[in-house]
Amino acid sequence: MTPTYQSEVIDRIIFSRWHNPPTKDDVAAMMAQMEEAARRLGQNLLYIASISPKAKVPDAQERAYLNQMVAEGRRFCEQSWLVYEGTDLQHNLQRVIISGVLILTRTFDNYLSVAKSADAIVKDVGTALKKDASPIFKVARERGLIA
């Protein structure tokens, strides 16, 4: 069975690559990793979650875990990006739906942005880091954390 996700902190970015929607235990482990990294670095992180185009669409319970992760992640991350990969209609609709939900729930406050690819956010992440993020993205790509 494919693991649900893999994650790693590079610089002050916590990357997570999701192969399937999260479980309750995944959310708890991710929060613990964020908290430990923020404490160790002495500052809040940036969070980049990439979802494999092969991941199944989350059901209601899994969406609840995702909402919990977004809400709790704010304690440890100053900004987050969700990279929802894939080019077919289903993936495009998922991005639109997620963006719409963020607006409707007033979560759209520049904390969480949705993108189609990691390359689309390199500049924004660099702005948040106040340096070129390209080398960090290169390492993350080599480690399989982003496509």
Percent of the chain with pLDDT over 70: 82
With respect to residue 147, please indicate whether it lies within any of the assigned structural domains: no
Question: Which is more confidently placed, 59 or 46?
Answer: 46
> Which residues constitute the domain of residue 78?
5-142
pLDDT at 98: 61
- Identify the pLDDT of residue 101: 57
Asked, for residue 60, whether it belongs to a domain, the answer is yes
Per-residue pLDDT, averaged over 75-101, amounts to 72
Mean model confidence pLDDT for the chain:
85
> Does residue 72 sit in helix, strand or coil?
helix
Alpha carbons 136 and 5: distance in angstroms, whole number: 19
pTM: 0.86
- Residue 69: inside a domain, yes or no? yes
Domain with 33 in it: what CATH number?
A: 3.30.750.24
Do the Cβ atoms of 81 and 121 come closer than 8 Å? Answer: yes
Q: What pLDDT, on the 0 to 100 scale, is given for residue 124?
A: 96
- Number of domains the chain contains: 1
Contact partners, residue 51, CB within 8 Å, separation at least 6: 18, 82, 83, 84, 85
Distance CA 51, CA 66 (A): 12
Across 49-65, average pLDDT: 83
Mean pLDDT confidence for 37-64:
89
CB 107 within 8 A of CB 79: no
